[in-house]
Chain A
Amino acid sequence: MSIDGICGFGLNFTADGFRIAYGTLCLLAFLASFLFAPRYLSHDGHKKRFYIFSAVVLIATLGVFFAADLFTLLIFFEMMSLTSYVWVAHEESDGALRAGDTYMAVAVIGGLFLLAGIVLVYSEAGTLEIAKIREAYLLNPSLYPGRKFVAAICLLVGFGAKAGAFPLHVWLPKAHPVAPAPASALLSGVLTKTGIYGILVTGLCLMPGVEAFGLILVIIGLITMVIGALTAIFSVDLKKVLACSSVSQIGFMVTGAGIATLLTKNGTLFPGAISSLSAEPAILGTVLHMANHTLVKLVVFLTAGVVYQNCHELNLNKIKGFGRKKPLLALPFLLGGMSLAGIPGFPGYLSKSILHESLLEGLSEAGLSSGAVALSEWTFLISGGATLCYMAKLFFCLFIEKPVAGAGSSAEATKDYAAVTQKVVLLVPAVSLITAGLFLSVKYFGTLYEFEVLKGGLTSVAIGALLFALIMLTLNRGGEYRDKWPKWLDLEEKIYRPLLLTVLPLTIGLFARIMDRITDRLALLLRKTVFRDAPIKPERVEGTVFTRFVGHGMDVIVAKLKGKSEVEPEYETRLALRAMEQKENNLVTMRSLSYGLMLACLGIFVMLGFILYLVFIK
């Protein structure tokens, strides 16, 4: 489908296997959020704004997924980035506005890199249609071989910023906790996936089989998953843990996209990738993990929303034990957490196992040494274990621990802690998760539950259990949750903000200020040197040379006549006064109109005389 003429290129849409599947999922996630929101926002002053902008974000997100060309994708991507700012800044508190600034900055920077990448692709390939880019590049062997790579890196930065990949993940842990829960669920569950989708498109359509690009993605993915996992383990804010967990899971997906890039030779992401295993397994694993993460994050963020609408608090130490005796809250959270942690039988296990196997295959095919492969594998497994660890921590805290006296106990007593629709909205995705997991497990039991495959998953689970035991015995000893993550270890606070807000403005500002003045100063310099005003000679006010000379002479004569020895400047003064009077009179005369006319007349007379002389005498 296409709408011609809009923005020059027209908007083009297409629908195929992946797009329909993810579009539907996205629609359902938004629906769930919309159903959840009324109770959550019942005391909120900006309800209308929230709904209007959420609807726009929905349209924009669907536009991104269904876009047939990169231009359409860019238009909807920008629309999505800017409108979702309203979610982050929703509360209008200082923290929300600050997080909003971060979000906006990352979105804008990412959007511009995207634009740069798209311009480069268009200039080289001559088309922006996603399905044709690969062929177009094959048909016109590039004159500038580096450019395709630069374009891919630009696209990666753009999409990676939205996905939350290292080092542009900083907005996620800031933005999710301050946004309203229905919005955080969508930010984390759906919006970040547009970034992953874009990275997949970049890898598969632009750079299929390019080792360097694939490895960059894998490295970024591994770093992202470790950073996310570590911060999630240490955080004591419910939504922040979930946000960091998102970062970590995004790392898995980016890694998957990297392996898919490494292994793919023919880039057939879209048709039928979901329905069969015939597509490249790495792609399948990534897409499955995306879908799994969308559903899980929907469930757990909305659970956090239920907690917040009752306790108005997200700190684990204050809300602990909130979920006791609330099975309808505990069950969805448990199912979601288990799926995210990769317990066998859940979709999370399937996706992580596929990714794990592909990782080994991809890296060894890329010719990496066995040490590097093992390092990557263990990073992958430990991060997977960490997922189990922090999800178990949350579950333990919310549903098993005894509430502290005070706020928690009253919360526990609340009977009407959530609306019926909210409970349904929590339960449906959670149940569909386990159903899908079991269905897929049965269908692919032969391949995905072999001992070799199962071993990886179980190792990860075992690591997770150990980690959990470790942090509960050390960090969170005695039922108190401590945030020991060093505060100074913050990319945004330590590097980005100082760089963008202090260093750059200072240097540019200083430079600009100097440059700003330079022309003025030059003009001033010229004015003071070459073009300065002629100096005004100091004048003697009294009289002229003539009056002084004559007057003084007369005074001397008078003194001689009177026989006085002393000369009194009587005539000199009088003459000087006369001269000044005369001068003033002259001035008045010369300024007057009649004087001008007289002079004009005189001129005319002279002219007349001259003409008469010419005519009659000569």
Chain B
Amino acid sequence: MASFWMLVVILFPIACGCGILFLPEKNRRLFLGLSAGAVFVTAVAAWVLILNPPSESLTVFKFWDDLVIEFRIDGLSRIFMGLISGLWPLSVIYAFEYMAHEANPGTLKERTFFGVYTLTYGVTLGISMAGNLLTMYVFYEMLTLVTIPLVLFTLTRAAIQATRTYMVFSLGGAAFGFISLIFLMAYGNASDFTLGGILDPAALGGRDNILRFVYIMGFMGFGVKAAVFPLNSWLPKASVAPTPVTALLHAVAVVKSGAFAIIRLTYYCYGADFIKGTFAQYIPMGIALFTIIYGCAMAMKERHFKRRLAYSTTSNLSYVLFAAMILSPLGLKAALSFMIFHGVMKITAFFCAGAFLTKGSRVYVYELNGLYREMPVTTTIFTISALAIMGLPGLPGFAGKWLIAGAAVADGGLMPVIGVGVLIVSSMLTAVYMLQPVTRIYFHENKGGLKEAADPGICMILPLVLLTVAMIIFGLFFTPLTDFIGKVAQGVI
């Protein structure tokens, strides 16, 4: 494919999103159609790009010398693009039915939602295809800004507070990321992402440890979106947003952009060898391990169902970061595999939570008692996703955890091996907080006093069923995918 198509897939959804926002059109069907059309066309185009990536890069704008806005598709881009391009169309279909409940159909509020939702797709694609750190940084900041209306959506007090936290954390984090960017410009010898790092040893001149310190700053900065402790409190708060947002953005697109950015920074900018075996590896890894346990513990305590899932996301994202910080091709492979598997599992769980919320007004875990009688399909799907997140063999969560544990043990260092222990403990806690709703759904009696519930309509069920099928296929036959990711991690693709 010609390289300009990259710009097209980024700009097309952005243009359509702006169109939905600003065109004076009141017809609900039209803007829903426009939104779905834009997302589907973009997704198809993106998949064509993933399968036939253009070999050369595309420079869009030149500030100065090396300082360019540039797009390029490498193996890592293809993985992340594949993840979001697979999930975005499903989420839009889900949103059709869901948003009719959340806002009055056809209102400006709903239009804003669909506009921004479409627009965000383009921005996220921009992050995935960014060819250098500057481009990624620009799109990363844009992602923060465009998702603000989505978090703010309900305009309740909680939503306003969540948005404020989100803004403060994200913008503050971006500042740290910026410091990293500047240092990389000063001490790097090429601007493009290169597996193995772009640092110029000659330019460094013994300032290794300062650079490593700056790396940690960058890790924390981009870690805001990946919800590493102590910068994670925006994520559970943000679960006030409508479910399509929490499901797609706060379980996949936004938070995985954070993890993606950290992987870019670690493997493609500083280089794994530069960091490995130093404090710059151990501190972030320690933070990730702490976040794993912390997220699980908070999820266990949490009774609000969506917030519990959000804490679970916090914990699971740190699985990705922990695997990435092993700093070996195996670790990178495990991180990327878990990123994809977690995306599919968690979005399913969130979609189910959304269905419980809209079709039965079940907000808290203890309100799920006996729900399987009323919502048999949704609860079955939720059970599968819960078992997957727990890591039951035969489902993708197990595959991901297996790869992470394997990479950690293969590395053989003390900290990765401790990490395996942490993984085990966290799996145990995960089992507690995910099985609790499941047992309530099936074995506890509904004592009454709750609204009647029913399975949702086709627009919500269809994405759920497709995701479940995907989960089972990934769980049983994950080898082709993980082999591909393994090649990416080794730099073959």
Contact = CB atoms under 8 A, between A and B. Distances in A.
B443 A7 contact: no
Nearest to B387: A82
Interface string A491-531: 00000000000000100110110011111100100000000
Interface in A108-149: 108-109, 112-113, 115-116, 119-120, 122-123, 143-144
A465 interface: no
A388 interface: no
B444 A520 contact: no
Interface in A1-48: 5-8
Nearest to B298: A512
Contacts of B405: 115-116, 119
Contacts of B402: 8, 115, 119
A123 B231 CA distance: 35
B105 interface: no
A97 B439 CA distance: 9
Best-surrounded residue of B394, B412, B421 (most CB of chain A within 10 A): B394
A53 to B, nearest CB: 11
A104 B482 contact: no
A116 B393 contact: no
B392 interface: yes
Nearest to B401: A115
Interface in A401-453: none
B298 A516 contact: yes
Contact of A508 (B229, B297, B409, B431): B297
B233 A112 contact: no
Nearest to B444: A97
A74 interface: yes
Interface string B371-394: 000000000000000010001111
A74 B233 CA distance: 37
Contacts of B168: 523
Contact of B393 (A7, A122, A509, A517): A7
Give the contact-size bracket for chain B.
35 or more
B431 A92 contact: no
A281 interface: no
Contact of A7 (B169, B233, B297, B399): B399
A89 B394 contact: no
A78 B301 contact: no
B contact patch SS: helix
Nearest to B443: A89
A8 B478 contact: yes
A113 B424 contact: yes
A8 B482 contact: yes
Contact of A82 (B165, B230, B392, B443): B392
Given A79-B393, A104-B435, A122-B406, A7 B420 contact: no
B288 to A, nearest CB: 15
A116 B420 contact: yes
Given A82-B387, A116-B421, A508-B297, A97 B443 contact: yes
A contact patch SS: helix
Give the contact-size bracket for chain A.
35 or more
A122 B410 CA distance: 10
A48 to B, nearest CB: 14
B409 A119 contact: yes
B431 A509 contact: no
B393 A78 contact: yes
A274 interface: no
B400 to A, nearest CB: 11
Nearest to B296: A508
Contacts of B452: none
Interface in B389-423: 391-394, 398-399, 401-402, 405-406, 409-410, 412, 420-421
A100 interface: yes
Contacts of B394: 6-7, 75, 79
Nearest to A71: B393
Interface of B: 165, 168-169, 229-231, 233, 294, 297-298, 300-301, 387, 391-394, 398-399, 401-402, 405-406, 409-410, 412, 420-421, 424, 427-428, 431-432, 435, 439, 443-445, 475-479, 482
23 contacts: A5-B476, A7-B398, A8-B479, A75-B393, A79-B393, A82-B392, A89-B443, A92-B445, A104-B431, A104-B439, A108-B435, A112-B424, A112-B427, A115-B402, A115-B424, A119-B406, A122-B409, A123-B409, A144-B412, A512-B298, A515-B294, A519-B231, A520-B165
State the 9 A-B residue pairs at the shortest beta-carbon distance, nearest first.
Answer: A123-B409, A75-B393, A108-B431, A508-B297, A119-B405, A519-B230, A112-B424, A89-B443, A116-B424
